[in-house]
Structure 1
Amino acid sequence: MLINATQPEELRVALVDGQRLYDLDIESGAREQKKANIYKGRITRIEPSLEAAFVDFGSERHGFLPLKEISREYFKKAPEGRVNIKDVLSEGQEVIVQVEKEERGNKGAALTTFISLAGRYLVLMPNNPRAGGISRRIEGEERNELREALNGLIAPADMGLIVRTAGLGRSSEEMQWDLDYLLQLWTAIKEASLDRSAPFLIYQESNVIIRAIRDYLRQDIGEVLIDSIEAQEEALTFIRQVMPQYASKIKLYEDSVPLFNRFQIESQIETAFQRVVELPSGGSIVIDPTEALVSIDINSARATKGSDIEETALQTNLEAAEEIARQLRLRDIGGLIVIDFIDMTPAKNQRAVEEKVRESLEADRARVQIGRISRFGLLEMSRQRLRPSLGESSGIVCPRCNGTGIIRDVESLSLAILRLIEEEALKDRTAEVRAQVPIPVAAFLLNEKRNSITKIELRTRARIIILPNDQLETPHFEVQRLRDDSPEAHSSQTSYEIAAAAAEVEEIAPLAAATRTLVPQEAAVKTAPARANAPVPVEAAAPAPTPAPAPVAHEPSLFKGLVKSLVSLFATKEEPVAPVVVEKPVAEQRPARNEERRNGRQQ
């Protein structure tokens, strides 16, 4: 695990296998992430037609709170029969809410009153006793063992618990410590909610460094390299309290070569921002996000690996399936995804590609549902949206094309403006029509279409002024109609004076908009009260040499990474803290994921 924290504006966490980038998480300081944050909000509007309420929780847009996500503790009275949201809630009512989905486009954040607090091994649902269970990824005998361990925990009867995948093989004492930590955190949140009136931020989800360590760090991670002393101290403080057995894995990277360059992954990160991703065989995949879904197209391009066209199609599709699974993780793409594979006639080839897709997505932390390749060669799938995609968190919509990717050419736009000028000039009592246009459009209108403008002026008896504006780019323009009773229509200003005045107004507007910024909120609760460190499990294995220091002189290889993982697997951890617990050997460790279950089902 590599953590790059040298630039305060952007924290980056990468999981690397040898020199191949496996997963990536980027957190931008300019864009506050709200998912999993807990707020005290105020209901501002109730919409019976949507069976939902809108909540002011301190953000620019009000959050959306559906009726099904409202705990009965907030109901004014016990409902009889079908619940009418108007009868059980009132405007101005204060509620404690958690952000379930980030704001996207014009949509506000999706909220819930069913709070979930994620720990290392457990997820606590403090106001949802019907929720609870074990991660879907844990099956068979392991599931039964965890159920027994869960039954042995001392937990309030009115709260729900979910065992995360990281809880596999953990003792009751370790899970009890995790539960006690979450209970103390919930108590602190409840007490803080009483201190102030809504809206305000009560609890903020940990930053990307703490989240990555909590969710990803396990036995098969050889080491965690951090290139910032402050970030290393922050990580060590957390890990010594929650996972002291892994403290020796946290290492400071001090080489002059930047951390990500040392592992040669900067170029791999750049592919996550590109529309076209090249495949080793010479083919490529093209990723296009749309409002409804993400479309992915596979092109054979220069691929010539196979002995015939069918073999080439199969090999390219298999390569693409593996790369698509990787790109979905790197880009954090969620929602509906449609993949257009290269056409394959044999059914066995289609099944092979489907199986490759499933195999490549097995290690994904997000929940994934995969369909079959249809007769049109399309495979439909959905992926859980864990957080905003890389494009949403690190990019903005192009101000020139508004995200469409294309703009009208100069001639087409000029003719459209000319028709609009004519339409405005034909209206009654029109004295003047002013058109502010980009310079290329102005050149076309004043030269190639000079006669057309003159004819419109003679026919309508209206003055037409074309104002070239170097601040405008196609396809942007502005057409203004002045009536004969308007003072501006009778002013003695020349056209260049009008253009200069308009340019001054445009320069002032962005400055005014820039001053309207929201001040980041400070969380009332940052962590649970200090307490004893977590118990340290003693690995049931023979002693081994101390793990090697951070690489600074040689490029790491896949073979060395594998050897290092095997060495760390059998290494003894010497941490003199808390009670000693003997951990049962685990056949297989899977990636942790933040499971949530509400009303007896997973969300």
Structure 2
Amino acid sequence: MSEEILINFTPMETRVAVVENGMLQEVYVERAAKLGIVGNIYKGKVVRVLPGMQAAFIDIGLDRAAFIHAADIRSAKEDENKSISYLLREGQSLVVQVTKDPIGSKGARLTTHISIPSRYLVYMPYAEHVGISQRIEDEVERERLKQTVQSQLDQLHEEGEVNVGGFIVRTVAEGAREKDIHKDLLYLRRLWHSLQESMDKAAPATVIYEDLPLYMRILRDLATPEVEKIRIDSRETFHKAQEFVGKLIPEILERIEYYPGERPIFDLYNVEDEIQRALGRKVQLKSGGYLIFDQTEAMTTVDVNTGAYVGHKTLEETIFKTNLEAATAIGRQLRLRNLGGIIILDFIDMEDVEHQRQVLRTLEKVLEKDHVKCKVTGVSELGLVEMTRKRTRESLEQVLCEPCPICQGRGSLKTPETVCYEIFRDILRQHRAYNTDSYLVLASQSVVDKLMDEESDRVAELETFISKTIRFQVEPMYTTEQFDVVLR
């Protein structure tokens, strides 16, 4: 598998594209005016405790207060009372880390279980165990990595260190040298000591630790041995990346390239076109079938349709092939659109149990490539595949778009006919309440056209009924749903 990372940098925003075998798989966008805060550590102040929800709101210096649940708060002893009222009080200072960016109307999500990542390890200062990434499947390698970290921790204990903390060994550590892992471990320990000093001095609602900028996080987290090239279109960012990689990940230094071409870097693999397509509801499949994505605050649904594909064999075979292609496409689209939370997949109904099993297995295999944790819970009684994908940042649509101001995000508008009848009802309402000589209706061109043409008979009937004249005026700035009835 050929994998490349393209980094497009401007002073306003940084965009990163992950391309596998010439196809866009993931997009990351970070704007200078709205930087992501996942991973940042703050000294917060408790502003409100909610016993009924077992949660609290914390001021960390953002526009909206952040949210923490009782389950995400460390307590001194595990068997102590875990009631939020016991754990927190209003006005209390609390060191917290952001686990989810503010999304939509919701504030950031917080935890006190601090974790700090580096290239090979994630340091958990308040934990005591050594964990290994589940993506490392070789048991011999898992044991080697565990012993490598544990031996270093044992040495620190022997030197009199207390509260050494725990570590998770990251996927990228597979095959890493022992000395490089030790170097990472000591770096994280030194960083934590300096952060502890900052915590003591910091005022409430201030940031103590900020994660790296996007392009450095990508280099740290995604530059695996499978990545053949990392291309950067900014000379200054390229030099910073070289310096960063030289210190932290020297083995990938030769894979970083400066891209000076006149053709925009995202045009190399039609990334711009793919991004535009990823903002649409419909995804066309090569077979002629298609997917429909509907994203709501509660969940995302994906509907699979055969479309124009009729196949060459039986209907069951046609459905099976469409569902197989859809499973692969869905896995890619979830990454590309960065859809998270509850996801319901409505595959075309299959009678053959073996076909169902193969489609589910194809989906799971595609999701194994995902950097974000996914869990497929199986097929429900209604034949729907239910799954979850961890949501830590806004989806591509939420980053690049806003709800339509005309339909308010509904995705549909009232017809001119419906608005005409609303106008009639409003005129009747005003006729009963006020005494006037005539009415002036201000509305959009399409509604006025409807009133003057197809609805003209009903307008005449209404004028006779109320014994008043009704006149119409087009307001060019009005949307279809907007109108005013003015007393004259």
- Which residue is equivalent to 1:50? 53
- Which residue is equivalent to 1:556? none
Q: Determine the C-alpha separation between the residues in 1 that align with 2:200 and 2:355.
A: 62
- Which residue is equivalent to 1:2? 5
**Structure 2 residue 51 is the aligned partner of structure 1 residue 24:** no
Q: Which amino acid aligns with 2:298?
A: A
Residue by residue over 1:526-547, the C-alpha shift from the partner in whole angstroms, topping out at 9 and shown as x without a partner, is: xxxxxxxxxxxxxxxxxxxxxx
**Deviation, structure 1 residue 122:** 0.9
**Structure 2 residue 187 is the aligned partner of structure 1 residue 181:** yes
- Which residue is equivalent to 1:485? none
In the TM superposition, what are the counterparts of 1:290-439 in structure 2 within 5 Å? 290-374=296-380, 376-423=382-429, 426-427=432-433, 437-439=443-445
Q: Determine the C-alpha separation between the residues in 1 that align with 2:203 and 2:80.
A: 33
From 215, 221, 236, give the equivalent of 1:230.
236
- Which residue is equivalent to 2:85? 86
Q: Determine the C-alpha separation between the residues in 2 that align with 1:130 and 1:271.
A: 46
**Deviation, structure 1 residue 177:** 1.4
Which sections of structure 2, spanning at least 5 residues, go unmatched? none
From 160, 165, 174, give the equivalent of 2:166.
160
**Deviation, structure 1 residue 467:** 7.2
Q: Mean alpha-carbon deviation: is it higher for 324-333 or for 138-147?
A: 138-147
**Deviation, structure 1 residue 250:** 1.1
| SS of corresponding position for 2:333 | helix
Q: Determine the C-alpha separation between the residues in 1 that align with 2:470 and 2:128.
A: 71
- Which residue is equivalent to 2:247? 241
Q: Which amino acid aligns with 1:381?
A: M
Structure number with the bigger relative contact order (C-alpha 8 A, sep ≥ 6) is: 1
- Which residue is equivalent to 2:127? 129
**Deviation, structure 1 residue 451:** 4.5
Q: Determine the C-alpha separation between the residues in 1 that align with 2:197 and 2:435.
A: 67
Q: Mean alpha-carbon deviation: is it higher for 436-445 or for 241-250?
A: 436-445
In the TM superposition, what are the counterparts of 1:105-120 in structure 2 within 5 Å? 105-120=104-119
Kept in 2, the 8 Å contact 1:425–1:433? The answer is no
Kept in 2, the 8 Å contact 1:236–1:250? The answer is yes
- Which residue is equivalent to 1:99? 98
| SS of corresponding position for 1:212 | helix
Change (3 A) 1:478 1:247: farther
- Which residue is equivalent to 2:147? 148
| SS of corresponding position for 2:15 | strand
Residue by residue over 1:132-177, the C-alpha shift from the partner in whole angstroms, topping out at 9 and shown as x without a partner, is: 5222223422222222112112455422211111122223321221
Q: Which amino acid aligns with 2:220?
A: R
* Larger proportion of strand: 2
Q: Which amino acid aligns with 2:100?
A: K
Q: Which amino acid aligns with 1:16?
A: V
**Deviation, structure 1 residue 342:** 2.1
| SS of corresponding position for 2:53 | coil
- Which residue is equivalent to 2:283? 277
Q: CA RMSD in A?
A: 3.1
Q: Mean alpha-carbon deviation: is it higher for 337-346 or for 400-409?
A: 337-346
**Deviation, structure 1 residue 457:** 6.0
Kept in 2, the 8 Å contact 1:117–1:123? The answer is yes
**Deviation, structure 1 residue 237:** 2.0
Q: Structure 2 length as normaliser, TM-score?
A: 0.87
**Structure 2 residue 18 is the aligned partner of structure 1 residue 12:** no
Q: Determine the C-alpha separation between the residues in 2 that align with 1:230 and 1:478.
A: 56
Q: Determine the C-alpha separation between the residues in 2 that align with 1:284 and 1:182.
A: 47
Residue by residue over 1:38-81, the C-alpha shift from the partner in whole angstroms, topping out at 9 and shown as x without a partner, is: 222221111111111111112222111112222337xxxx9995
Q: Determine the C-alpha separation between the residues in 1 that align with 2:197 and 2:11.
A: 32
Q: Determine the C-alpha separation between the residues in 2 that align with 1:359 and 1:273.
A: 25
Kept in 1, the 8 Å contact 2:327–2:363? The answer is yes
**Deviation, structure 1 residue 399:** 1.0
| SS of corresponding position for 2:344 | strand
Change (3 A) 1:81 1:229: closer
Kept in 1, the 8 Å contact 2:377–2:386? The answer is yes
Identity of aligned residues (%): 33
**Deviation, structure 1 residue 450:** 4.5
Kept in 1, the 8 Å contact 2:8–2:266? The answer is no
- Which residue is equivalent to 1:585? none
**Structure 2 residue 218 is the aligned partner of structure 1 residue 215:** no
Q: Determine the C-alpha separation between the residues in 1 that align with 2:341 and 2:395.
A: 10
Kept in 1, the 8 Å contact 2:9–2:232? The answer is no
| SS of corresponding position for 2:349 | coil
Change (3 A) 1:277 1:255: same
In the TM superposition, what are the counterparts of 1:492-511 in structure 2 within 5 Å? none
| SS of corresponding position for 1:120 | coil
Q: Which amino acid aligns with 1:11?
A: T
Q: Structure 1 length as normaliser, TM-score?
A: 0.71
Kept in 1, the 8 Å contact 2:49–2:55? The answer is yes
Q: Determine the C-alpha separation between the residues in 2 that align with 1:453 and 1:94.
A: 66
Q: Determine the C-alpha separation between the residues in 2 that align with 1:23 and 1:232.
A: 21
**Deviation, structure 1 residue 182:** 1.9
Q: Which amino acid aligns with 2:132?
A: I
Change (3 A) 1:80 1:187: closer
Q: Mean alpha-carbon deviation: is it higher for 426-435 or for 60-69?
A: 426-435
**Deviation, structure 1 residue 6:** 4.2
Change (3 A) 1:22 1:93: same
Q: Determine the C-alpha separation between the residues in 1 that align with 2:232 and 2:325.
A: 32
Q: Mean alpha-carbon deviation: is it higher for 222-231 or for 149-158?
A: 149-158
Change (3 A) 1:118 1:479: farther
**Deviation, structure 1 residue 185:** 2.5
